[in-house]
Structure 1
Amino acid sequence: MKKTLILLSTLLVLPMTAHAHSVLESSTPAEGSIVDEALEQVVLDFSAGIEQGSDMTMTMDGTAVDFSEVAVMEDQLIGTPAQELEDGSYVVEYDVLSQDGHPIQGSLAFELQAGEEEAATEEPAEEATQEEQAEEATEATEATDDQEAEEAEAAESEETEASDMEQASSGEPEAPSEDAGSSLTLIIAGIAIILLIAAVVLMRRKR
């Protein structure tokens, strides 16, 4: 009877112990991942609840990185970096106490390359600014060309009007000069003398 009770107790205790024993299920960032955006927190997810006093540390290329806070949230261990993380290779080491009192230790590594994304974002912005400047310069040049064309057209129009006025002035009939009047008088006088001589000759023949 005693053996039976001991066996039943053992069977009941073992599942509870196995259930309480916690292991790391996932993390953010994931093991071996490459992060291409700013990282604000490191989150470790465990299979069961963990106790207060659990902790994590982090290094970047062998240099320690400080956390402003490492908090236990049921089955999560969350670390908040004290400063913005620089690009590089990071290693996170954790020392966790599971609910059954069993310590869990381990580490994970990831790569941060957020700076490359920022540079890629800035380059199109710079190109867009250069394109805007080129467009503004082109518009200014076109406006100057239009203004010069308008001024040239106005000057040409004024020259044409002046030329038309000169042609109209030169086309008016000129008043007869005194020389022309004198020549006409001499011609009339000559004709009259010739007619007079002819009349005299005719009168003599009749006689």
Structure 2
Amino acid sequence: MKIRILTLFITVFLAILGLPAQAHTVLSSSNPADNSIETIAPENIALGFSTEVRLTAFSVEDNDGKVIDLGAMPTTTQQEFSISTPSIPPGTYIVKWRAVGADMHIVSGEFQFEIAELVSRK
């Protein structure tokens, strides 16, 4: 009887050990960074995720809640995205995003940055 229980315990333990970690996807980096103060308007906004995702929503809003037109959103599944931005004036901007990870969980978030002084792009 003890051998059966021990065998069952070892089997269950090994089965659990063999399961892959099922961590949810997170935003691991952004450029501009959250709460950063920029002196030059960014030419693009970069998002880096911990795993490959499909970006399902992405927007940039100014301080008045006006959505900045960014054109077409990327449609491929990838780990890093770089979305071109038009020339935007000084102010505070909120970046909002939503994505579907490989585990099919929906993740979303937002971050903000400020452009303190606009310097023309060359």
Identify unmatched segments of 5+ residues in structure 2. Answer: 1-6
**Which residue of the partner structure matches residue 103 of structure 2?**
100
Partner secondary structure for residue 54 of structure 1? strand
User: How many pairs does the alignment contain?
Assistant: 112
Of all paired residues, the percent bearing the same amino acid is 24
User: 1:107, 1:53 → 2: CA distance?
Assistant: 13
After superposition, where does 1:1-207 map in structure 2 within 5 Å? 1=7, 4-15=10-21, 17-18=22-23, 21-50=24-53, 52-61=54-63, 62-71=65-74, 72=76, 74-81=78-85, 83-115=86-118, 117-118=119-120
Native 8 Å contact 2:55 2:97 kept in 1: no
User: 1:14, 1:84 → 2: CA distance?
Assistant: 44
Native 8 Å contact 1:33 1:110 kept in 2: yes
Deviation readout 1:135-192 (Å, 9 max, x if unpaired): xxxxxxxxxxxxxxxxxxxxxxxxxxxxxxxxxxxxxxxxxxxxxxxxxxxxxxxxxx
Amino acid across the alignment from 2:80: Q
TM-score (norm 2): 0.76
Distance 1:12 1:24, change over 3 A: same
User: 2:28, 2:93 → 1: CA distance?
Assistant: 19
Cα deviation for residue 2 of structure 1 reads 5.6
User: 1:87, 1:114 → 2: CA distance?
Assistant: 6
Distance 1:101 1:6, change over 3 A: farther
More strand by share: 2
Native 8 Å contact 1:42 1:78 kept in 2: yes
TM-score (norm 1): 0.48
Cα deviation for residue 78 of structure 1 reads 2.7
User: 1:53, 1:28 → 2: CA distance?
Assistant: 16
More helix by share: 1
Identify unmatched segments of 5+ residues in structure 1. Answer: 119-207
Amino acid across the alignment from 1:10: I
